[in-house]
Structure 1
Amino acid sequence: METEMNYQSWLDQIEAFVSAQLSPYAERLAYHNLNHTRSVVTNATRIAAHYQLSDADRFVVLSASWFHDLGYINGDPSGHEQRGALIFKEFANPLLIEDNLIAGVIGCILATTLPQKAVNLLESIVCDADLYHFGTTEFTQKDALMLEETQHRLKTDIPLINWLNGSLRLLQSHQFCTQHCHHELASQKQANIRELEARIEADL
């Protein structure tokens, strides 16, 4: 019970820390903001419940979900996973979190690097939690936020047809890592692909 309380205490501290870190960047990060991070944590919680994870494994998955995009606050998209992992390690060490848990969280964060390379169930859950919207009706809205963030970062307008073609290639090349998400989300992902194809055709 004491260990279980430690996990929840650590998660509460993690939520407070990440929320405080991301809040000032709401304007610059239209997509990779606190709302996205919270949704990934929610998705990860849902998938973890399906797989009936132990308290330790659930802690690893949720911690990685909180930190997976925190590297966006101090650099470009490239390498943000490594920076997020480093921020987590610096945060975790004073809390005396066990080394094997820290290693598990870092592995899950790094696995979300595109193209995703999950090698175990925990990494697979975090990867699917991150890109969960690929298989939901929220995809179009979230893709538009990603476009907004990218244009803000590059300080230039991106032709919509170019963006839609890139989004289509991304969806077509993506595979959900867990059987659960493949079963639950693959159908809507195919619908999102068809919608992208229709928008591209209409714009030509």
Structure 2
Amino acid sequence: MYDQIFEQMKAQVCKKLDNLDKHLTYHCKEHTFDVLEQSIRIAKAEGVTNAHQLHLLKVAALYHDSGFLETYADHETHSCMIFLSEANRYGFSDEDKEQIIQLIMATKIPQAPDNLMERIICDADLDYLGRDDFYKIGDTLRQEFLHYSIVKSDDEWEALQLKFLLNHHYHTQASQQLREPVKQRHLHQLQ
């Protein structure tokens, strides 16, 4: 039951994400699908087996950056509004909708997750920090930040990246074990 509904939602969101600004080199469709994949992987590693909870997590991952279709700043709020505008056709209860909104909003930087599901989506959103494709993906964020004038130069980017890594921590045991050692290696290389 959940799979069929989710596949319908995924197709719809995927079609929408094709309209993202081409300068969103990091916050793109590939990032959304990476967060979705990592959410499922981390949930499994954390022992989450409840099909309903997994469904809500997957939906939140799917919509978490859809707000970039409308705005850069505070995109999470817009992601929630996009989800809510489509939620009724998929039969979500008010409680489900609230939980998905909380999951989406948990990804806002700085992250402050309140429960396991929020910790999972937060770690999935920043999973790449502790992976071997860190520099490749980081470069897409650097390009995006330069384009949108979030940073003005590569030096400013490197300082921001270093500060972000120093302040970041993974929230789930699974990510702390798997990703933290690699993230620390990246941090050491940047210092």
Structure 1 residues 40-119: aligned runs within 5 Å:
40-50=35-45, 51-76=47-72, 78-119=73-114
Between the aligned partners of 2:175 and 2:5, the Cα distance in structure 1 is: 27
TM-superposed deviation, 1:195: 1.6
Identity %: 28
Contact 1:127 1:177 in 2 (8 A): yes
Between the aligned partners of 1:98 and 1:66, the Cα distance in structure 2 is: 18
Contact 1:41 1:66 in 2 (8 A): yes
Larger helix fraction of residues: 1
- Structure 2: unaligned runs, 5 residues or longer: none
Cross-structure match for 2:115: 120
Between the aligned partners of 1:116 and 1:92, the Cα distance in structure 2 is: 25
**Pick aligned residue for 2:152 from 150, 154, 158:** 158
Structure 1 residues 3-18: aligned runs within 5 Å:
5=1, 7-18=2-13
Between the aligned partners of 1:195 and 1:13, the Cα distance in structure 2 is: 43
1:172 aligns with 2:166: yes
- Structure 1: unaligned runs, 5 residues or longer: 198-204
Between the aligned partners of 1:20 and 1:150, the Cα distance in structure 2 is: 25
Divergent runs of 4+, >6 A: none
Between the aligned partners of 1:103 and 1:36, the Cα distance in structure 2 is: 24
What TM-score, normalized to structure 2? 0.94
RMSD (Å) for aligned C-alpha atoms = 1.4
Cross-structure match for 2:177: 183
Secondary structure of the equivalent of 1:24?
coil
Between the aligned partners of 2:153 and 2:171, the Cα distance in structure 1 is: 31
Contact 2:57 2:117 in 1 (8 A): yes
Contact 2:107 2:122 in 1 (8 A): yes
TM-superposed deviation, 1:157: 7.6
TM-superposed deviation, 1:20: 0.7
Contact 2:21 2:69 in 1 (8 A): no
TM-superposed deviation, 1:48: 1.5
Between the aligned partners of 1:112 and 1:94, the Cα distance in structure 2 is: 25
1:62 alignment partner AA: K
Contact 1:56 1:101 in 2 (8 A): no
Between the aligned partners of 1:52 and 1:118, the Cα distance in structure 2 is: 17
Cross-structure match for 1:202: none
Q: 1:174 to 1:157 in 2, by over 3 A?
A: closer
Tell me the alpha carbon deviations over residues 9-32 of structure 1, each in whole angstroms, 9 at most, x when there is no partner.
221122111111111226221110
Q: 1:80 to 1:157 in 2, by over 3 A?
A: closer
1:128 alignment partner AA: D
Cross-structure match for 2:131: 136
1:64 alignment partner AA: A
Number of matched pairs: 190
1:116 alignment partner AA: Q
Contact 1:85 1:109 in 2 (8 A): yes
